[in-house]
Amino acid sequence: VDTLVTIGEFSRMTYLTVKALRHYHDVGLLEPIDVDPSSGYRRYSTDQVAAAQAIRRFRDLDMPIDQIRAVLEASDGATRNQAILQHLEYMQQQLERTQLTVASLQALLEHAPTTASIEYRSITPTRSLAIRDTVRFDAADAWCTEVFAELHDAIKRARGAASGPDGALYFNDFFERGEGEVIAFVPVDGDAMQSGRAERYEIAATNVAVMIHDGPFGDLDQTYGALGTIVAERNVGAAGPIREHYVDDERTEVCWPVTVSQT
């Protein structure tokens, strides 16, 4: 025995605007129980209040409509709760990321960035086990964590050993379009040990200018800015991907391609 209400009443009961309700109808997120064929008047059931309120809460958390639909359509309750809890976790991570950004912005506003020094280096060809993929800029962190685990796993299973620090090549589209090729590699000397996505790959030799980034990973842009500025000022820039070496938890070497090795 459900009661039908107009869109206006339903709006007051759910804190959703009339425009939003019509939009959710259009995109099939929340369909009125009945639509009058002649007038087009929407009728909502009081049974839909809970769903509507859930939608509003999820939208308050900026969950995309498609995801909300997926959550609501998950017929079995367990799957549904899973999906919800997953998004809550994601939100928590977002919160932490935002807090980090706020903190680092505050730090930047207080002290001027330290001027680090650079070094020119000729890197010889690097034999490695690598995974390559097209990666979105903002998904890069998660991708790296995943593939480096995979690479080290493959090496361990083949009883091999890394002959240098982890590294990655970032091609220009990765920065300039926000999505592009990335090659994550672990230097190895041993024989074939490909498995899954991991394959043998010899990284070509390059000349680079190197600056060591020492500090929080979120501030890597500072090092890019400083290093890029120096390379531009000295007019030694060259084509090619930017290379990073993850020396240890604290330090990352950023390698910017240059024309020739100099003093």
The residue from 239, 248, 260, 263 that contacts DNA (CB under 7 A) is 239
Q: What is the DSSP letter of 244?
A: E
The residue from 27, 35, 50, 192 that contacts a copy of itself (CB under 8 A) is 50
The residue from 133, 141, 146, 176 that contacts a copy of itself (CB under 8 A) is 176
Q: What is the 3-state secondary structure (H, E, C) of 48-59?
A: HHHHHHHHHHHH
> If residue 23 lies in a helix (H) or strand (E), which one and from where to where?
helix 18-26
Contact 147, 131 (CB under 8 A): yes
Among the listed ranges 33-41, 159-167, 201-209, 223-231, the one in contact with a copy of itself (CB under 8 A) is 223-231
Give the C-alpha separation, 94 to 232, whole Å.
35
Contact 56, 65 (CB under 8 A): no
Tokens of 247: 């020396």
Name which of 145 and 229 has its Cβ closer to a copy of itself: 229
In the block, tokens 């010899």 appear at 202
Tokens of 199: 């394959």
Taking CB under 7 A as the rule, does residue 177 contact DNA? yes
Question: Which residues contribute to the site for a copy of itself (CB under 8 A)?
Answer: 3, 5, 8-9, 11-15, 17-19, 46, 49-50, 53-54, 56-58, 60-61, 81, 84, 88, 91-92, 95, 98-99, 101-102, 104-106, 108-109, 137, 172, 175-178, 221-222, 224-225, 228-229, 232-233, 235, 237, 242
Question: Which residues contribute to the site for DNA (CB under 7 A)?
Answer: 6-9, 17-20, 22-24, 27, 36, 38-42, 59, 64-66, 172, 176-179, 239
